[in-house]
Amino acid sequence: MQCSKCSGSMSEGFLLEKGNHNDLSVQAWVEGSPSTKSSFLSQIFGMSVRGKAVYRVQTFRCSSCGYLESYARESTR
């Protein structure tokens, strides 16, 4: 894959997320708007993605200029 900015070589990686208790995970793209309900359970467990399409985010980095390019191609559900 070539960088769309400088035509350098791109290598695949991922963007790291830190959650509760510093749990590590990979970013995901979720279809639609975030849930804004402020119920007791959503405050404890976070947002619900029930019924929404969730895609793993693939990120590529240019070895020449450092540009990042991300894609959400495959649904995780």
φ, ψ of residue 71 in degrees (nearest 5): -135, 145
For the chain, the structural domain boundaries read: 10-32+41-71
Determine the pLDDT at residue 6. Answer: 98
Determine the pLDDT at residue 36. Answer: 60
DSSP code at position 42: H
- pLDDT profile of the chain (77 residues), mean per 10: 97 87 84 69 65 90 98 76
Q: How far is CA 39 from CA 43, 44, 48, 55, 68, in A?
A: 6, 9, 11, 26, 36
